[in-house]
Amino acid sequence: MATCFSPQAQTLIVAFMMSLLLPLTTSFTVIVSDSGNQSALVDGPQSGFMMNKNGARTEAREQEAVYDIMRATGNDWATDIPDVCRGRWHGIECMPDKDNVYHVVSLSFGALSDDTAFPTCDPTKSYISKSITKLPHIRTLFFYRCFSYNPQPIPSFLGQLAPSLQNLVLRENGHVGPIPTEISNLTSLKVLDLHKNNHNGSIPVSLGRLAGLRSLDLSGNKLTGSIPGFSFPVLNVLDLSQNLLMGSIPPTLAFCPSLIKIDFSRNRLSGSIPESFGGLKELILMDLSYNRLSKPLPISIRSLNSLEALILKGNPMGATTLAREEFDGMKSLMTLILSNTNLHGPIPESLGRLTSLRVIHLDGNHLNGSIPTNFKDLKNLGELRLNDNQLTGPVPFGREMVWKMRRKLKLHNNTGLCYDANSGFEDGLDSTFDSGIGLCNSPEPSSARTVQHLSAIDGAIMPSTTKESSAAVHEASVIVRLLQQTIAIVFFLIFISR
Ligand SMILES: *[C@@H]1O[C@H](CO)[C@@H](O)[C@H](O)[C@H]1NC(C)=O
Ligand SMILES: *[C@@H]1O[C@H](CO)[C@@H](O)[C@H](O)[C@H]1NC(C)=O
Ligand SMILES: *[C@@H]1O[C@H](CO)[C@@H](O)[C@H](O)[C@H]1NC(C)=O
Ligand SMILES: *[C@@H]1O[C@H](CO)[C@@H](O)[C@H](O)[C@H]1NC(C)=O
Ligand SMILES: *[C@@H]1O[C@H](CO)[C@@H](O)[C@H](O)[C@H]1NC(C)=O
């Protein structure tokens, strides 16, 4: 595996995630291969469904351990199964050694979707059995919604699963207390996912020892303190969103050169985006929305030419005027969300040259001047919010663009925005929709009109070309949405580590 994703690999990720997400996760079993020689297992994927070699048996101690683990999650039925590696249930994976003895390499629990057939847990009384430490070959542990009504800390004995454990996923389990520092002993970890628990305390600095991490998701907890100065050489995904993190964003994160996704949204981070982030050449998604960042964008990030989504909504950003060339280098940008970021001055014309753009939100700022005329060249644009600014002059869109965006074009509450009589703008409007702006040079200035937002009534009759272009827009927003869901990437990473 390369240390970073090439464009082809990115396409693969997206394709893979698409296949996963419709529905959320289709049924598939995680099978891991023996990538190192630490456990001396025979290579090649094996599952309970494939193993029928005569005489092959599960190692007795591991078999007892699996019974314990199954009992601890309310799955007592498993103890009736004479050989767990041949027990034919999804959620257990085994591999043989050269003596044809089977070892447990993966255990998964929880109803992730209607299609996954992992054993479920009794959420009122389940716990993680200490017998898990009797599985010396275990590489993947996956518990989803298992302990929700029996709140418990993550047991520190999981730290003893080094060096075999590679993927530790404990999602939406209701785990309480701090993240145990013993997790930092799992030096082979590639995926650490503790999304949506109730962890408090700070992020252990010792996690920095996990040099092989590809995905770190601690989102949706109650973590406090500041973000440690991590530098993970092969990390692709860093999701710390929806916590209570404070302080500034550490510049050392730029020493995670393989990052494709950074999500720190909904915390209390202050200061600025580090200048060093300009070096994150693989970055596709950066979401820092709803923090307290108070400084303008550093010049260096203008060269992030892989970036497809920049989301900074809801940060005060220090009364910035956007430079003429502000977004010049962001050639891949599809989604730009800068709502309520205290922007002043004109919209830079350079934005109109980023022809990949699908979604632009600049609403709730103090932007003045007119909408750059080259915005009409943004053929992929499907969503534009410029409402609640001080923009003036004619809107540069004709019928077709207005048709395409329909109610996703928001222009209301601008001091002097208007449309030219012969532009076709009005023809493009849905007759039930008030765009919030009036005719240029009309005796009644638009700002004096009562601007009302009608509730969306879809199903207006649209020309078929418009439907096709909105499909393209939809597809682009799906990519961004998928990237926003770490679980899809986690599955991808576990999958490719086979
Ligand atoms: C594992 O691989 C290393 C070199 O890659 C080798 O020196 C060592 O003997 C191997 N161990 C076993 C148990 O095969
Ligand atoms: C973790 O590693 C440290 C040394 O790095 C050791 O002292 C400690 O006992 C280990 N803890 C576990 C749970 O393995
Ligand atoms: C975490 O929460 C528990 C109660 O749920 C509390 O007793 C403990 O002091 C908290 N720890 C920190 C570091 O905030
Ligand atoms: C637009 O805003 C900038 C920055 O606030 C200000 O300096 C400039 O005078 C404004 N221009 C107009 C025409 O209002
Ligand atoms: C209009 O937009 C400004 C921001 O430019 C905002 O402060 C104001 O509340 C908005 N007015 C209405 C009626 O929403």
Q: Atom 8 in ligand 2: which residue has the minimum CA distance?
A: 182
* Closest ligand, as measured to the CA of 184: 2
Half-sphere exposure of residue 161: CA atoms within 13 angstroms, side-chain side: 25
Alpha carbon distance 317, 291 (integer Å): 10
What's the Cα-to-Cα distance from 247 to each of 300, 338, 339, rounded to whole Å?
21, 21, 22
Residue 36 buriedness (CB in 10 A; 0-12 / 13-18 / 19+): exposed
Q: Is 391 helix (H, G, I), strand (E, B) or coil?
A: strand
Out of 96-100, 377-381, 405-409, 420-424, least confident range = 420-424
Out of 5-14, 55-64, 83-92, 132-141, least confident range = 5-14
Alpha carbon distance 17, 337 (integer Å): 23
Alpha carbon distance 62, 131 (integer Å): 9
Atom number of ligand 5 nearest to Cα 389: 5
Count CB atoms within 10 A of the CB of residue 6: 10
Specify which residues 255 forms β-bridges with.
Answer: none
Which residues neighbour 198 within 8 Å (Cβ) at sequence distance 6 or greater?
151, 174, 175, 176, 221, 222
Ranges assigned E (strand) in 188-284: 191-193, 198-199, 215-217, 237-239, 261-263, 270-271
Please tell me the predicted confidence (pLDDT) of residue 44.
47
Q: Atom 11 in ligand 1: which residue has the minimum CA distance?
A: 37
Please tell me the predicted confidence (pLDDT) of residue 126.
94
Residues with CB under 6 A from ligand 5: 364, 366, 388-389, 413
In the reported structure, the alpha carbon of residue 207 is separated from the centroid of ligand 4 by a whole-number distance in angstroms of: 48
Atom number of ligand 5 nearest to Cα 413: 1
Ranges assigned E (strand) in 321-465: 335-337, 344-345, 359-361, 366-369, 383-385, 390-394, 409-410, 416-419, 438-439
| H-helix or E-strand spanning residue 169 | strand 167-171
Q: Residue 369's closest CA among 334, 303, 416, 325?
A: 416
Confidence of residue 22 (pLDDT cuts 50, 70, 90): very low
Provide, rounded to the nearest whole percent, the portion of the chain with pLDDT above 90: 61
Ligand 2, residues 130, 183, 185: which to mutate, most atoms within 8 A of Cβ? 185
Q: How far apart are the first and last CA of the chain?
A: 11
Out of 123-127, 161-165, 355-359, 471-475, least confident range = 471-475
Inter-residue contact 346 to 324 (CB < 8 Å):
no
Count CB atoms within 10 A of the CB of residue 425: 24
**317: its two tokens:** 């950003």
Atom number of ligand 1 nearest to Cα 37: 1
Please tell me the predicted confidence (pLDDT) of residue 86.
83
Residues with CB under 6 A from ligand 3: 176-178, 200-201
Q: Is the CB of 265 under 6 A from ligand 2?
A: no
Q: Atom 5 in ligand 5: which residue has the minimum CA distance?
A: 389
Alpha carbon distance 109, 164 (integer Å): 19
Pairing of the two strands 366-369 and 344-345 = parallel
Inter-residue contact 418 to 395 (CB < 8 Å):
yes
Atom number of ligand 4 nearest to Cα 345: 2
- Tens-place pLDDT, residues 170-225: 999 999 999 999 999 999 999 999 999 999 999 999 999 999 999 999 999 999 99
Residue 376 buriedness (CB in 10 A; 0-12 / 13-18 / 19+): middle
In the reported structure, the alpha carbon of residue 154 is separated from the centroid of ligand 3 by a whole-number distance in angstroms of: 14
Pairing of the two strands 92-96 and 101-109 = antiparallel
Average pLDDT of the residues in 76-95: 88
Phi-psi region of 248 (alpha: psi -120 to 50; beta: other; left: phi over 0): beta
Alpha carbon distance 324, 250 (integer Å): 28
